[in-house]
Amino acid sequence: MDRAERGCGALPVTGEPAVLVALMKVPAVSNVPLFWSAFVLTRSLGATVGDFLTKPVVKGGSNLGTIGSPAVLLAVLFGLLRPGTRAQGRPPAHGSGAGHPVGRVTVNRAPGVCPRS
């Protein structure tokens, strides 16, 4: 398989999700079919990327093996998630959770009601 054939095979795998992202901006298109379409399409994308990462270089892969491939995928996953958490205005978690709103409970009591001891 030459370089042009590999490029044509990658076009649907990357182009179809790009179309779905564009359709998210169209108010008339329901999110339910978009979700299920993306769900189905990402399975083939994952298989294609996994094959590319584990195949030997001679066969057009990157020869990372079964240890390097998940490491690369985890790094990509965390790299994609980090900007999303920053965009929501949440600080990155630092072990203790100090300063993070999760876990805090505020109880509003009626005036004149004493807290239980």
Residue 97 falls within a domain, yes or no? Answer: no
Please give the distance of CA 28 from its chain centroid, rounded to a whole number: 25
Helix-helix angle 31-54:3-24, to 10 degrees: 150
Residues 100 and 106: their CA atoms lie apart, in Å, by 14
Residue 61 falls within a domain, yes or no? Answer: yes
> What domain count does the chain have?
1
Domain ranges, residue 57? 3-87
Residue 42 falls within a domain, yes or no? Answer: yes
Q: What is the pLDDT of residues 65-113, one digit of tens each?
A: 889 999 998 998 899 888 777 766 655 555 555 554 555 555 555 666 5
Residue 98 falls within a domain, yes or no? Answer: no
Q: Is the pTM of this model over 0.75?
A: no
In our burial notation (b when 16+ CB lie closer than 10 A, e otherwise), range 29-49 reads: eeeeebeeebeebeeebeeeb
